[in-house]
Structure 1
Amino acid sequence: MNVNAKLISVAEGLFDRQGFNATGMDRLAQAAGMSSRTLYKHAGSKNELIAAVLMTRGQRFLQRLELDSVEALFDALACWMSEEGTRGCLFLRAQGEIGSAVTEVTDALTAYKARFSETVRRILVRQLGADPDEELIEQVVILFEGATAAASYRGLAAVATAGRAATLLVERARA
């Protein structure tokens, strides 16, 4: 594993478990087994590192979503959460902790959410055989995001419930 990949992997784990503000650059350097100088050389600023972590995580998740139905979309979320945990959306947690004043984080969040919405559109096109209504896309996205948040305190059953609701919306759109 190259230095950048190792750094992003270590940073993702620490940010995910301990939070963004609670994880200092010294702690990151120590966990990655590198000097602070090497860390800054590869990461730039902490905000740049956070943005790189978010983009890497987003890409990793979106790669799992070449799917043909909203049912499979919610199954993929449940699988992800079984592996990664049910702590909520890392992008929204970053935004909540850091705020919207940090451009790198806001840009990463905005870009990821746009890509995710486009992914939902493609899934619905495959499932419906036609371009879906914008309202249906938004409903599925909101159910997905709500399930992601609710799973943090209700468990994976929240994902299954949201998946059933999304499936009903798609069935209604077919009628």
Structure 2
Amino acid sequence: MDDTTTLTTVAGRLFDRHGYMATGMDQLTEAAGMSSRTLYKRAGSKAELMVAVLTERDRRFMRRIEVSSVDALFAALEEWVRVEGARGCLFLRTRAETGGEIPKIAEAVATHKAAFGARVQEIVTADLGHDDPILAEQVIVLFEGATHAAVYRGAAAVSAARSAVAILVERARP
């Protein structure tokens, strides 16, 4: 692993665990085992480092949801929570912390959420055999809600959302 990859990995863990605002550059340099000069040379700024973390998270998450059914989408979320932990959506948490006031971060979040929305629409269409924008929106809301409810309710929140969405999908079938 090169310094940039190591830094992104370490920063991802710290930002995910403590949040963007609570994670200081001193913490990042210590955890990455590099000087502040090297950190700034590799990352540019804290905001740019957060964008790199979000970009990597987006890549891993979108690969995880390369599925063809709504049930498989929620199964992927169950697996994500099991492997990654239940701390809620890093994109939405970061957006909330920064209030959308850091353009690079706001853009990374918006890009991810647009790609996620498009992916859900593709999954719904593949599952039903036809387009259903209302169901896609319901799936997104249940998915996002389950992601955040898992923080305090555990994986059972995802299982409950998976059961609820199965009813919606069945009702949407011709």
2:171 — aligned with what?
172
2:17 — aligned with what?
17
Shift of 1:97: 1.3
Q: Counterpart of 1:63 in 2: which secondary structure?
A: helix
Contact 2:125 2:132 in 1 (8 A): no
Shift of 1:79: 0.6
- Bigger shift: 79-88 or 118-127? 118-127
Contact 2:88 2:147 in 1 (8 A): yes
* Residue type at the aligned position of 1:170: V
Shift of 1:119: 1.1
Question: What is the aligned length?
Answer: 174
* Off by >2 Å, runs of 4+ in structure 1: none
Structure 2 CA distance for aligned equivalents of residues 172 and 4 of structure 1: 48
Structure 1 gaps, min length 5 = none
1:129 equivalent in alignment to 2:154: no
* Residue type at the aligned position of 1:116: F
Q: What is the TM-score normalised by the length of structure 1?
A: 0.96
1:96 — aligned with what?
96
Shift of 1:38: 0.7
Structure 1 CA distance for aligned equivalents of residues 50 and 137 of structure 2: 27
1:150 equivalent in alignment to 2:149: yes
Q: What is the TM-score normalised by the length of structure 2?
A: 0.96
* Residue type at the aligned position of 1:149: H
Structure 2 CA distance for aligned equivalents of residues 35 and 115 of structure 1: 35
1:44 — aligned with what?
44
Shift of 1:59: 1.0
Structure 1 CA distance for aligned equivalents of residues 85 and 95 of structure 2: 19
* Residue type at the aligned position of 2:160: T
Structure 2 CA distance for aligned equivalents of residues 174 and 127 of structure 1: 9
Shift of 1:73: 0.6
Shift of 1:93: 0.8
Structure 2 CA distance for aligned equivalents of residues 24 and 64 of structure 1: 30
Shift of 1:99: 1.3
Q: Deviations over 1:111-138 (max 9, x none)?
A: 00011111111211221122x2211111
Shift of 1:23: 0.9
1:65 equivalent in alignment to 2:76: no
